[in-house]
Structure 1
Amino acid sequence: MTEKSRKTAAQLPSRGLPAGAWVDNREEIILHVPTPFSFTQNLHYLSRAKDECLYQIENDRLYKAIPIAGQTPVVEIRAEEDAHLHIRFLGDATPTADVRARVAEYVYDWFDLGTNLAPFYDMAQKDALLKGAVDSFYGLRNMGIPDLFEAMSWGILGQQINLTYAYTLKRRLVENFGRSVMCEGKTYWVFPAPETIAERTVQDLAVLRMTAKKCEYLIGAAQLIVEGKLSKELLWDGGDYQNAEKTLVNIRGIGPWTANYVLMRCLRMPSAFPIDDVGLHNAIKYVQGTDRKPTKAEIVALSRHWTSWESYATFYLWRFLY
């Protein structure tokens, strides 16, 4: 590891588990959940996509295969009175202690349990656009995408198309280039590793039936990650949002919307703000009860009190759309 990477890794905000945040019972992990938190609200968010292929929801329980250190444990996640998340390992083999710890960290990050939402709620209660959102969706967390390549891929796939078709493209990508594991009679899919896509050609990705440009962008992003030129640690670089946004925008195929989406959902930079997002515009239109979408200047004015909470404000407003 270079001196630069050692520095940035040390500065990366800890998404790890604070002392006392979890209990390891081998076959099951118990995560202590901070308030405010609502498993129902977060599950509702996750269930909005009927064509999702990377997790399954059944009987208010969440199932997912999580690739960790060469292993792929399958877990069931359920809540107990919104005070704890129970993570149960499925199948016959119990993962090692290190893998169990990393699974706990993954879920902790996925649900954004390391963020103190109290200041956001205090601000939102005084904001005309956000008050209804925090009252209606109390306990919702910014459900993230912990893996950088998956987050970038989702941003690229979703460019200039509707959400339904974006999920169709994601399923094609996963089922053609990802891998699957069988557990207790069910199939669980894992997102393609950047190494898999980096060695492909545009012709190889023709099966996805998306534009050649998007194929090129996807391959290019994978190659940067494989070559060590792009990582969460390098993007964080001391928490400078503007530098991180600039780094991403300088990548071919990554515009301001995709950059801010990645910084919002993967890096958890609170100031990330996809201000040009159509969904955000529609949500503001809905809350205001108007017949037209707001202009960019109007959004800037409306968001003047959201400083350092732009990402959460956006996430909560999106919730009105489903």
Structure 2
Amino acid sequence: MTRFNTHVEDHGTHVTIHTPDPFSYQQVVAYLNRSENECLHRVDGATVYKAIPINTEIAVMAVSNPTPSRIEIRLLESGGCAVSDALLAAARYVWEWFDLDANLVPFYQLATGDPVLKTLVTDYYGLRLIGVPDLFEALCWAVMGQQINLAFAYTLKRRFVEAFGTRTTVRGHTYWIFPDACRISELTPSELTALGFTTRKSEYLAEIARWMRRGAITKQGLLALPDLESVVDALTDIRGVGKWTANYVAMRCLRHRSAFPIDDVGLHHAVSRLLGMNQKPTREELGVLFAPWHGYEAYATFYFWRHLLAPEY
């Protein structure tokens, strides 16, 4: 969070974030609006609404884009916290959620001379890698998405959140906070299989929750590790977390730019479509394709994922 303080202005009733270039709020909203079954934020026109936890309370924010270079954050509910504290927490959340600390200039310079990346950054100019700031949520979401299509993954997430999460209602809309690890660690497998999870995934989610509850894995601890390999090794010690899941979490929660979920089905699908391939690329072909983009594998992957949302597909 090296640049946060110099980009935020507190206006008392709202805060303004001056966004770094390149940035497109429209591209961010398009990605956030990719599923009608999303339950952890709401998109209405060009405004994004989301609840965030502040200590033991829940605040609800409205995020908008009054000018191309500014994000405005207002509170619908401060959750019993001082408004100034809640606004600052909301701004920090959005800064991390939208990956505004990332310097994308080198990535875009690289893309300018690359025929594949040039197409992606031209079509989705200013898109940031939308994150999952909470480690437990990121791990659970990755496990939920293992070996199923995205639509069903969203269905499972909604059932999970509405069964075990925390909610608040503001101005006629209900907002949810992702379930707490302590709560999930106490569940029996049958309570999760009743929602449509397989027995194995139910066991994985409970195992992750137990690791989180006892502090055996923490976001702070993972961020302190020296490199991506160390992060992947630490995460894959958890039952149910393989290399794909570990790289996904490293990419979307821990912000490792070189994280590369090479076995991701959506990535294979996007690459084959963009390149006009008759079949999915092999791991070897993906390795060759991504080799010139070393250090930016996470962003390249995310732009390929965004390509799957294009209207022509």
Counterpart position of 2:65: 79
* Contact 2:42-2:50 within 8 A present in 1 as well: yes
Provide the secondary structure at the position in 2 that maps to 1:268. coil
In the TM superposition, residue 50 of structure 1 has moved relative to its aligned partner by 1.2
Residue-by-residue CA offset, 1:248-299 (whole Å, 9 max, x unaligned): 1121001111111000000000110001111111111111112111111111
Residue-by-residue CA offset, 1:105-146 (whole Å, 9 max, x unaligned): 111000000000000001112222211000000000000000
CA distance in structure 1 between the aligned counterparts of 2:138 and 2:245, rounded to whole angstroms: 9
Structure 1 residue 127 corresponds to structure 2 residue 118: no
CA distance in structure 2 between the aligned counterparts of 1:110 and 1:283, rounded to whole angstroms: 24
Counterpart position of 2:24: 38
Counterpart position of 1:261: 248
Q: Which amino acid aligns with 1:80?
A: P
In the TM superposition, residue 228 of structure 1 has moved relative to its aligned partner by 0.7
In the TM superposition, residue 17 of structure 1 has moved relative to its aligned partner by 5.3
Q: Which amino acid aligns with 1:39?
A: Y
Structure 1 residue 138 corresponds to structure 2 residue 125: yes
CA distance in structure 1 between the aligned counterparts of 2:3 and 2:93, rounded to whole angstroms: 10
CA distance in structure 1 between the aligned counterparts of 2:126 and 2:168, rounded to whole angstroms: 32
Counterpart position of 1:184: 171
* Contact 1:17-1:108 within 8 A present in 2 as well: no
In the TM superposition, residue 45 of structure 1 has moved relative to its aligned partner by 0.4
Provide the secondary structure at the position in 2 that maps to 1:76. strand
Larger relative contact order (CA 8 Å, sep ≥ 6): 1
* Contact 1:16-1:109 within 8 A present in 2 as well: no
Provide the secondary structure at the position in 2 that maps to 1:208. coil
CA distance in structure 2 between the aligned counterparts of 1:98 and 1:157, rounded to whole angstroms: 33
Counterpart position of 2:274: 287
CA distance in structure 2 between the aligned counterparts of 1:93 and 1:220, rounded to whole angstroms: 31
CA distance in structure 1 between the aligned counterparts of 2:163 and 2:117, rounded to whole angstroms: 40
Work out which of the residue numbers 229, 233, 238 in structure 1 matches 2:216: 229
In the TM superposition, residue 94 of structure 1 has moved relative to its aligned partner by 7.4
CA distance in structure 2 between the aligned counterparts of 1:263 and 1:151, rounded to whole angstroms: 9
CA distance in structure 2 between the aligned counterparts of 1:155 and 1:289, rounded to whole angstroms: 28
Unaligned runs of 5+ in 1: 1-14
Counterpart position of 2:42: 56
CA distance in structure 1 between the aligned counterparts of 2:92 and 2:154, rounded to whole angstroms: 26
* Contact 1:158-1:166 within 8 A present in 2 as well: yes
CA distance in structure 2 between the aligned counterparts of 1:149 and 1:189, rounded to whole angstroms: 15
CA distance in structure 2 between the aligned counterparts of 1:51 and 1:269, rounded to whole angstroms: 28
Counterpart position of 2:239: 252
* Contact 2:131-2:252 within 8 A present in 1 as well: yes
CA distance in structure 1 between the aligned counterparts of 2:79 and 2:187, rounded to whole angstroms: 34
Work out which of the residue numbers 286, 306, 311 in structure 1 matches 2:298: 311
CA distance in structure 2 between the aligned counterparts of 1:95 and 1:58, rounded to whole angstroms: 26
Q: Which amino acid aligns with 1:82?
A: P
Q: Which amino acid aligns with 2:141?
A: W
Counterpart position of 2:136: 149
CA distance in structure 1 between the aligned counterparts of 2:78 and 2:305, rounded to whole angstroms: 40
- Between 160-169 and 182-191, the greater mean CA deviation after superposition: 182-191
* Contact 2:60-2:78 within 8 A present in 1 as well: no
Q: Which amino acid aligns with 2:140?
A: S
Counterpart position of 1:70: 56
Q: Percent identity among equivalent residues? A: 44
Counterpart position of 1:164: 151
Unaligned runs of 5+ in 2: none
Provide the secondary structure at the position in 1 that maps to 2:54. coil
Counterpart position of 2:4: 18
CA distance in structure 2 between the aligned counterparts of 1:243 and 1:87, rounded to whole angstroms: 36
Provide the secondary structure at the position in 1 that maps to 2:293. coil
Q: Which amino acid aligns with 2:304?
A: L
Task: Kindly report structure 1 stretches of 4+ aligned residues shifted beyond 6 Å.
Answer: none
Report the TM-score, using the length of structure 1 for normalisation: 0.92
CA distance in structure 2 between the aligned counterparts of 1:92 and 1:50, rounded to whole angstroms: 26
Counterpart position of 2:94: 107
CA distance in structure 1 between the aligned counterparts of 2:78 and 2:221, rounded to whole angstroms: 38
Provide the aligned length of Structure 1 versus Structure 2: 308
CA distance in structure 1 between the aligned counterparts of 2:25 and 2:123, rounded to whole angstroms: 14
Provide the secondary structure at the position in 2 that maps to 1:48. coil
